[in-house]
Structures are given as structure tokens and as C-alpha cells.
Amino acid sequence: MNKLTKNYKDDLIKDLKDPNEAAEYLNAALQDGNQEIFLMALRDVAAARGIKKLAKQASLNRENIYRMLSDEGNPNLSSLSTILDNLGLKLAIEIKEVHPSHCV
């Protein structure tokens, strides 16, 4: 890994320890609409907080967390909610801005 990549990742992990930064990061990833991008972002947030600590708090197996948050992961809603809850975050639904012609 080159030095620039390492510094970027180190800085990202440091920033993601802040709950506000973590929430913004996850929201940006969610806006992308790609599940793999969201799971990668959630994996970064979990790593910033400590996956071992998260696994213990969430009463989940550390290997299962890694598997759920992998590129091929497909966590169910309850597992996702458990992970987010133990990271001090929550999943929320917002009204999407729609063009007036799309209203029912």
C-alpha cells in the first residue's frame, strides 16, 4: 500500500470516530444506491469504532460481522439495526423530493 493511500485510510478512520462524520459518510454512501458501497462505508465506520468491541456490544460473532459487511454481504434488517444501534446510529426514512408529475 502506498503512503498516500495509508494516510487517507488512517485519516478516514480517525474522522469516522466522530458520530456526526460517520452519519454523513453513511448517508452519502446510501445516496449512491449501491449496496456494496453502503456495506463498505459501514465496514469503515465499524473499523473506526473497533469491530471486536462492536461484536461484543452487539452480541454478534466478529466473523459474522465481517461476513455481513463484505462486498457479498447481505445483512438482514435486524442485524443491520443491531450494528447501527451499537454504533450509536439509526436507519431513518425521509421523504424523497419528487417532481410534481410523480405525485399520486
Q: What is the pLDDT along the chain (104 residues), one digit of tens a residue?
A: 556 566 888 899 999 999 999 999 999 999 988 889 999 999 999 999 999 999 999 998 899 899 998 888 888 899 899 999 999 999 888 887 776 666 55
Long-range contacts of 6-13 (CB under 8 A, 24+ apart): 12/44, 12/48, 13/44, 13/47, 13/48
> What residue spans define the domains of the chain?
3-102
The reported pLDDT for the residue numbered 104 is 57
Integer Cα distance of 36 and 42 in angstroms: 10
Q: Are 8 and 39 in contact (CB under 8 A)?
A: no
The reported pLDDT for the residue numbered 26 is 95
| Residue 32 one-letter amino acid | D
User: Which residue, 47, 48, 37, 53, is CA-closest to 86?
Assistant: 53
The reported pLDDT for the residue numbered 40 is 93
Question: What is this structure's pTM?
Answer: 0.81
CA angle 89, 86, 77 (to 5 degrees): 75
